[in-house]
Structure 1
Amino acid sequence: MAEQGKVVVITGASSGVGRACAQRFASRGWSVVLAARRAAELEEVAAVCRKHRGARALVVPTDVTDAQAVDHLARRAVTAFGRIDVWLNNASVAAFGSLDEIPPEVFRRVLDVDVMGYAHGARAALGVMREQGGGTLINVSSVVGAAVVPYNIPYVISKAAVRALSGSLRQELRLAGRPGIHVCTVLPATMDTPFFGNAANYSGRKVLPMAPVYTAERAARTVLRLTRRPRREAYVGPASRLLGIQAKLAPRLVERLLAHQMDRSHLSRKQPAEPTSGNVLRPLPEPAAVVGGWHGRRRTAVRRAGAAALAVGAVLVAGRRTRPGCGRK
């Protein structure tokens, strides 16, 4: 079916992956409904989207933790464009630090945005899709939903929950006889977005992206492919896929390796950081953007080297698991 005139609702559309997805959909002639907390940044995205032939854009400032606001978002989309073909649950926040360092109100807010926000979005989207007889819900999880890391517990919990949410919804839709409604999960690796600079941080150390780092546009391409050929899950970047495989084959080993990598490279040992709630409790005043400035030429080389190392590791782990006496985890 032609993409021209299809309708997508995107939460977290003001920056990062959401913003990249909005621009990618608009370039294909989709009508985009843009949701996030900051209206001015959404208007900027809408202006860019409207430059593409056939694309229309609607701005609906929304706090996804408010179920009524999310229902209102769905109604606005249907009123403006008549239907919702795709709903992209993407809005996410994070808080770095150990469990006893992150304030309870910040911890809870991460779960409210990253879990309840997705549940509210799913409820609103599926209500519309049942009435119209079809559609695709896409939930953005993370590779840490498959391979956990320390010092980011509320985010890790939420991304694992997103995978569970998607699976349960697929089961319910199957049992209800709704083959025309698809639920997909996206599991990106580290993305070059403002995410790390915007996150809450109580670790005392500057947060740095953990290599390999991929562009937000790569995630947007993956999301668009899912609208054409829905799948249960789609990883973004070969490193993400390989890490997911390794976590299944050798979970104990992967836990040790990721703990070491997180402590050595994801939280700086040289650059301190003052405690901050980041954009968790309220939006930051800084301008929104797609990129975070982490994806230079040197980092691209690191990304490729890291992906190659992970590939070798996956082969070695798989070989180890197939040898007699090596089945213990």
Structure 2
Amino acid sequence: MTRTVVVTGATSGIGRATARELAGRGDRLVLAARSPATLDEVRDECRAAGARAIAVPMDVTEPGAVAALADAARTEFGGVDAWVHTAAVMSYGRFDETPAEVFEQVVRTDLLAAATVAREALRRFRDAGGGTLVLTGSVLGHITAPYMSGYVAAKWGLQGLARTLQQEARETPGVAICLVNPGSVDTPVYRQAANYLGRIGRPPPPIASPERVARAIAHCLDRPRREVSVGRLNVVMRFGFTVLPGVYDVLVGPLMRLAGLTRTPVAPHEGVVFTPNSAGEAVRGGWLPDPARVVRAVGGRAATVASAVRRRLP
């Protein structure tokens, strides 16, 4: 069945991977993000895959923007069957050294904007008789890590919001609320983050691909689930945080500095918290090998070996 799906945060990382995944499945797509030029690229990628897609540049934190996005979906495709919300920003720094306006904008984008999306989506779903909302959380909605206070606070809030919406949705037939919680993912969000720590952040291993998270989101649209975890160590980290809190708190700081931060120095900056950077937007962040590059490299070496073997044959 072909659906009309709104994807907020569609220009980079998980959102862009999800747009591609859903395009390959033939869904009609309403793509939204802050960077018009990049958004047009994603729309063209989806159309090249055979999907009907429109691009709606907008900022989820701007008053009225989410409602206008839903109206655009109704005008173009007659309504909204599903909504996937992936828009998020991040900031690194000690809580007391991070500017208050940066902390507040991270929470505004990652939590309050998600609430705005949920409110609008649920209103449209009720009018249509059903629909599926997929919110993108994080393993950091179940555990904590130093130097990421705004992001952690927002994801804990999103966890509570999603659970409450799921309870209320039991009274609304046809409406499903799903929460997808990735661990570390190979996206540009770490390099694009605001930084007041002096070292660029990175996803600690093991790192999942954004395409893997996108497939989990697509499965939720096909068969809604309350919560899906993507990441091999998510369960282990949650266990340690809950059952051994003293040990967890002793270890998490050194591990964060070792595995969650690069050695690359960086001056304080706001990243994309307030303004997008289209030059940094992509599906992947470069933390995992590029599959296409690996295939080309392996193919090139195989051709070289084959050529050498042929030259030695009589």
Structure 2 length normalisation: TM-score? 0.89
CA distance in 2: counterparts of 1:16 and 1:86, whole angstroms: 19
Give the match for residue 4 of structure 2.
7
Does the aligned pair in 2 maintain the 1:67–1:120 contact within 8 Å? no
CA distance in 1: counterparts of 2:86 and 2:63, whole angstroms: 16
1:271 to 264, 284, 290: 264
The 3-state SS of whatever aligns with 1:286 is helix
CA distance in 2: counterparts of 1:99 and 1:275, whole angstroms: 14
CA distance in 1: counterparts of 2:235 and 2:4, whole angstroms: 29
1:296 to 289, 295, 313: 289
AA partner of residue 6 (structure 2): V
Q: How does 1:246-325 map to 2 (within 5 A)?
A: 246-268=240-262, 270-296=263-289
Give the match for residue 25 of structure 1.
22
Q: Structure 1 regions of 5+ residues with no counterpart?
A: 298-329
Q: How does 1:236-251 map to 2 (within 5 A)?
A: 236-251=230-245
The 3-state SS of whatever aligns with 2:190 is helix
Give the match for residue 102 of structure 2.
106
AA partner of residue 151 (structure 2): Y
Count of residue pairs brought into register by the alignment: 290
Give the match for residue 206 of structure 1.
200
The 3-state SS of whatever aligns with 1:214 is coil
Q: Evaluate the alpha carbon distance shift between residue 26 and residue 285 of structure 1 in structure 2; reply closer, same or farther with a 3 A threshold.
A: closer
Residue 112 of structure 1: CA displacement?
A: 0.9
1:163 to 159, 164, 170: 159
Does the aligned pair in 2 maintain the 1:147–1:255 contact within 8 Å? no
Q: How does 1:127-166 map to 2 (within 5 A)?
A: 127-166=123-162
CA distance in 1: counterparts of 2:138 and 2:246, whole angstroms: 19
Residue 64 of structure 1: CA displacement?
A: 0.5
Residue 285 of structure 1: CA displacement?
A: 4.3
CA distance in 1: counterparts of 2:245 and 2:219, whole angstroms: 30
Residue 157 of structure 1: CA displacement?
A: 0.4
**Runs of 4+ in structure 1 over 4 Å off:** none
Give the match for residue 309 of structure 1.
none
AA partner of residue 233 (structure 2): A
2:40 to 25, 40, 43: 43
Structure showing greater Rg: 2
Does the aligned pair in 1 maintain the 2:138–2:180 contact within 8 Å? yes
CA deviation profile, 1:216-246 (whole Å, cap 9, x unmatched): 0000010011112211110112222332344
Residue 94 in structure 1 maps to residue 87 in structure 2: no
Q: Evaluate the alpha carbon distance shift between residue 126 and residue 245 of structure 1 in structure 2; reply closer, same or farther with a 3 A threshold.
A: same
Give the match for residue 295 of structure 2.
none
Residue 286 of structure 1: CA displacement?
A: 1.3
1:235 to 213, 221, 229: 229
Residue 192 in structure 1 maps to residue 189 in structure 2: no
Q: Evaluate the alpha carbon distance shift between residue 52 and residue 84 of structure 1 in structure 2; reply closer, same or farther with a 3 A threshold.
A: same
The 3-state SS of whatever aligns with 1:100 is helix
Identity %: 41
Give the match for residue 62 of structure 2.
66
73-82 or 240-249, which deviates more: 240-249
CA deviation profile, 1:123-143 (whole Å, cap 9, x unmatched): 111111001111111110101
AA partner of residue 249 (structure 1): V
CA distance in 2: counterparts of 1:9 and 1:252, whole angstroms: 42
Residue 265 of structure 1: CA displacement?
A: 2.2
CA distance in 2: counterparts of 1:81 and 1:257, whole angstroms: 51
Does the aligned pair in 1 maintain the 2:30–2:56 contact within 8 Å? yes
The 3-state SS of whatever aligns with 1:9 is strand
RMSD (Å) for aligned C-alpha atoms = 1.4
Structure 1 length normalisation: TM-score? 0.85
CA deviation profile, 1:167-224 (whole Å, cap 9, x unmatched): 11112222xx213101111110111011111000000112122111110000001001
Residue 253 of structure 1: CA displacement?
A: 2.8
Does the aligned pair in 1 maintain the 2:169–2:177 contact within 8 Å? no
